[in-house]
Structure 1
């Protein structure tokens, strides 16, 4: 059991991936607020509304969940993360137990990339900085589970760390953390095809990774012109450093 003060400022000096604080474990602690906000902004731009069912896959310390939970109606927020202590600390220090009860949030702590545990078809699934640490077998398993539990008009938003060098691609099926896994765009397209999904890269701003959208029907995905017009995620002030 980890016990921390509600003051998260001391965590900002910790390295990303540090187990010493719930905001640092999930990434650069000085970007904890931004990385949650950019996910919320993206899904709203993609059409998320309060009555949609959302799966926050790898919800961790509720970087994005602390924004999604108040926004969504009851029983619409679902989170999966194998690290239960992260969720517990975020509930304790960021949002409080009362709103979790009021909003009737659902959490699961499996590490098997299994999204069927909620017995729900999702309108949106978001997986920010999950595949940046997952081996090929894990990516395939996750996308197959996403596909099985996604509505026909639903959208998956996920990030990858891209490389143009085939030799840099990570071939193991193991989880890599806090290190990163690199993939070529062609490999991501293959993952989608194997899972019977269509995919599209979008230019939404991320300080280190690239956003991809997946869906069961290509009509649900924006074309390149639409994406470049509406899905830039431009930051006008206080843009985080890469």
Structure 2
């Protein structure tokens, strides 16, 4: 792990540590200062975190939709989408599953899911109208219109408009890594309703082994136990997925399932 990555996992540096880091990496000072200024401007004009991050996505999507979802190049966009797709298929995703992708973005992985799943079995939601417009272009590029995917704009993660126990797989890649704990709590309080009894919910997050923290209200770092305990409070079983750590990706992954119902006695 790089020194920067290790520092992020262990928690924020002291002020002196940040000054020393800036002195060693002066090329990073100006980009950070630009992000800090944008963070201040967007937070002043936002009523909550969703509206704030929607503004972040609008800014980033205008420059490059691929970069807005965390891919510096088109090759990286393709590779990260393939990695997500391969992992879910290796871990049980089948063509007849009903998949909900929370934070579908511009369908970095979604176009592969849509192509693989049966017609009408993919549902993607996102808080950003700009990135959903880019998702429509991805559908056209890969000629997936006949698969009848659904794409919806949301204002929160309560997902109250979706049917109960409809989805066998729910997937959120690089969503909780940008969410404060109250937004994650809102999602976990409601996502169990959407899952079929034997379904599962996979999500990635930025892991820290030190103090939980955020970077400019865009990147949030959590301990594994914090998220597992939060899921348990909402009646969900959680398991850390160690084989995901073998993938070339900075985030970690947790899988949530619903407790199995006891068979009724006759």
TM range (shorter): 0.7 to 0.9
Q: Counterparts in 2 of 1:78-227, with a 5 A limit?
A: 78-92=123-137, 94-96=138-140, 99-119=143-163, 121-166=166-211, 168-169=212-213, 176-177=217-218, 180-203=219-242, 204=244, 205-217=247-259
**Out of 58, 67, 73, which is 1:24 matched to?**
67
Gaps of 5+ in 1: 1-14, 220-242
1:91 Cα deviation after fit: 2.4
1:148 Cα deviation after fit: 1.2
Q: Which of 1 and 2 has greater Rg?
A: 2
Structure-1 separation of matches of 2:122 and 2:198? 18
Question: How far does the alpha carbon of each residue in 1:169-228 deviate from its partner, in whole angstroms, 9 at most, with x for none?
Answer: 35xxxx933xx1011111011111111111111121252110111100379xxxxxxxxx
Q: Conserved in 2, the CA contact under 8 Å of 1:22 and 1:90?
A: no
1:98 Cα deviation after fit: 8.7
- TM-score, normalised by the number of residues in structure 1: 0.75
Q: Conserved in 2, the CA contact under 8 Å of 1:198 and 1:218?
A: no
Q: Conserved in 1, the CA contact under 8 Å of 2:171 and 2:202?
A: yes
- TM-score, normalised by the number of residues in structure 2: 0.68
Query: How large is the RMSD of aligned CA atoms in angstroms?
Result: 2.4
1:118 Cα deviation after fit: 2.9
1:97 Cα deviation after fit: 7.8
1:146 Cα deviation after fit: 1.2
1:134 Cα deviation after fit: 0.6
Matched residue, 2:15: none
Specify whether residues 192 and 27 from structure 1 end up closer, same or farther in structure 2 by C-alpha distance, changes over 3 A only.
Answer: same
Structure-2 separation of matches of 1:218 and 1:45? 23
Structure-2 separation of matches of 1:72 and 1:183? 32
1:116 Cα deviation after fit: 3.4
Structure-2 separation of matches of 1:141 and 1:95? 30
Structure-1 separation of matches of 2:230 and 2:248? 22
Q: Counterparts in 2 of 1:38-57, with a 5 A limit?
A: 38-57=83-102
Structure-1 separation of matches of 2:93 and 2:195? 14
Structure-2 separation of matches of 1:34 and 1:218? 35
**Out of 47, 66, 73, which is 2:118 matched to?**
73
